[in-house]
Amino acid sequence: MSTNGLHPNFQQHFDDMVAINPGETEFHQAVYEVMQSLAPIAGRVPEYAQWSILKRVCEPERQIIFRVPWVTDDGDVQIQRGFRVEFNSALGPYKGGLRFHPSVNLSIIKFLGFEQIFKNSLTGMPIGGGKGGSDFDPKGKSDTEIMRFCQSFMTELYRHIGEYTDVPAGDIGVGGRELGYLFGQYKRITNRYESGVLTGKGLSWGGSQVRTEATGYGTVYFAQEMLKERGESLEGRRVVVSGSGNVAIYAVEKVHQLGGTVVAISDSGGHVVDEKGIDLELLREVKEVRRGRLTDYVEARSSASHVSEGSIWQVPCDVALPCATQNELSAEDAHTLIRNGVKLVAEGANMPCEPGAIEAFKDAGVLYAPGKASNAGGVATSALEMQQNASRDSWGFEETEAALEEIMRDIHRNCVDTAAEYDCEGDYMAGANLAGYIKVADAMVAQGVI
């Protein structure tokens, strides 16, 4: 945990929260970060600054845990655990992705759901916060196994979701294929073509243009705004992007469109260095078409080498975009990046930087953007998808991308202005947490004790 400490008014509250949620380390970490940023409002008169609101925000409105049985292609029965945490509906229906990864547990889903409340608030769209998923591991599974798992998962989940209640989408291990199977089963069980119940759908059946690209594109737009604020740009910058999934791929694409060069990417098996710049077409072919590994990328590209030992953050760069998973960038990694001259870190993943890394960036004057601001483009475009579904409309690529870019600019401005208002100039973490929290807390006050 951070060494910066909490405002004295919040320390006891944090300790109480830990005591009633034992062992949920990722959730504790996410709450601590928000509480740290709220110091400027501690002890103020407005109701949103009172402990009762903070305590309620830390308690999910509903937590659902369920059994997900499924049968392998060989006929073996497998049992997985499913989760949906409906965290906060002050601003709109619960909204947030589903993660399928063997590491998934209640702590991880709660940290993601908690982050989602404030991220969704920052988008300016009418969406509450939630998250779900399963400890199911999609790696190495056949399409039919994925389909049977998704159908079983939805057979329980369907009763908890709906376009006015809770609207899931993708996250790690859940992309277009999985959302298709999930939507199909929802439609079959309910006998309703309720497009607005899920986002990230295919373009021919209610999906939105740019949703696939939105998180990666949005992260890079946000980084670009941070540089613009200082009269700089991405042009000619060396960039390192961790991960090689949905977020990473489209971060690479947007960096290249804006004149930077991505020289390294990664997966859980190591990282790839490609000094000529990542070949996007090849990366997409390997990951999206073949569902392969980065070793396949290296085999097909002579300028690239695979490094299975050590950290991707040892690759020198001007801009670092962590786009894989939580706590993937340690304090030690941060010090390495700083020694190598990094200027900016923007999170495409959720909580990828450990607290010690964030402190190191701040101490060294490195520009740092927290995921709940910089990766909000994904869920914001999900909200645009909901808007299109509600009006039975579908927008073109350019108009949707322009809307995304404007939303990212607005989030950036909101973070900068809010940080300045509370005497934390240039602190994007404080700006994002304060702005995100105050809007939710105001709505909770207005809606009474529920």
92 conformational bin, left if phi > 0, alpha if psi -120 to 50, beta if neither? left
- Choose which of 209, 244, 311, 374 interacts with ligand NDP (CB under 6 A): 244
Could you tell me where the beta strands, DSSP code E, fall in 124-207?
129-134, 166-169
List of residues contacting ligand 2IT (CB under 6 A): 95-97, 116, 119, 169, 171, 199, 350, 378-379, 382
What phi, psi does 193 have (nearest 5°)?
A: -90, 80
DSSP codes, 97-141:
EEEE-TT--HHHHHHHHHHHHHHHHHHTSS--EEEEEES---TT-
Three-state SS for 317? coil
| Least distance CB 13 / ligand NDP (angstroms) | 27
**Among the listed residues 138, 134, 146, 147, the one whose alpha carbon sits nearest the alpha carbon of residue 80:** 134
Q: From ligand 2IT, ligand NDP, none, which one binds at residue 199 (CB under 5 to 8 Å depending on kind)?
A: ligand 2IT
Q: Does 324 bind ligand NDP (CB under 6 A)?
A: yes
- Choose which of 82, 92, 128, 245 interacts with ligand NDP (CB under 6 A): 245
- Alpha-carbon distance 342 to 322, whole Å? 13
Binding mask 342-371 for ligand NDP (x = CB under 6 A): ------xxx---------------------
The active-site residue out of 95, 110, 131, 372 is: 131
| Least distance CB 161 / ligand 2IT (angstroms) | 12
- Alpha-carbon distance 349 to 329, whole Å? 11
* Bridge partners, residue 100, by sequence: 134
By the 8 A CB rule, do 431 and 222 touch?
no
| Least distance CB 235 / ligand NDP (angstroms) | 25
Binding mask 199-238 for ligand NDP (x = CB under 6 A): ----------------x-----------------------
Q: Is-catalytic flag, 131?
A: yes
| Least distance CB 201 / ligand 2IT (angstroms) | 11
Contacts of 372 (CB under 8 A, 6+ apart): 115, 116, 118, 119, 122, 350, 432, 433, 436
**Between 199 and 261, whose beta carbon lies closer to ligand 2IT?**
199
**Between 152 and 246, whose beta carbon lies closer to ligand NDP?**
246
**Between 133 and 260, whose beta carbon lies closer to ligand 2IT?**
133
Burial of 387 (0-12, 13-18, 19+ CB in 10 A): middle
Binding mask 371-390 for ligand NDP (x = CB under 6 A): ----x--x------------
Q: From ligand 2IT, ligand NDP, none, which one binds at residue 54 (CB under 5 to 8 Å depending on kind)?
A: none
| Least distance CB 173 / ligand 2IT (angstroms) | 11
- Alpha-carbon distance 126 to 7, whole Å? 31
**Between 127 and 255, whose beta carbon lies closer to ligand 2IT?**
127
By the 8 A CB rule, do 335 and 307 touch?
no
User: Residue 359 belongs to what H/E stretch?
Assistant: helix 355-364
| Least distance CB 66 / ligand NDP (angstroms) | 21
So which residues are the catalytic ones?
A: 131
What residues make contact with ligand NDP under the rule CB under 6 A? 103, 170-173, 215, 243-248, 267-269, 323-325, 348-350, 375, 378
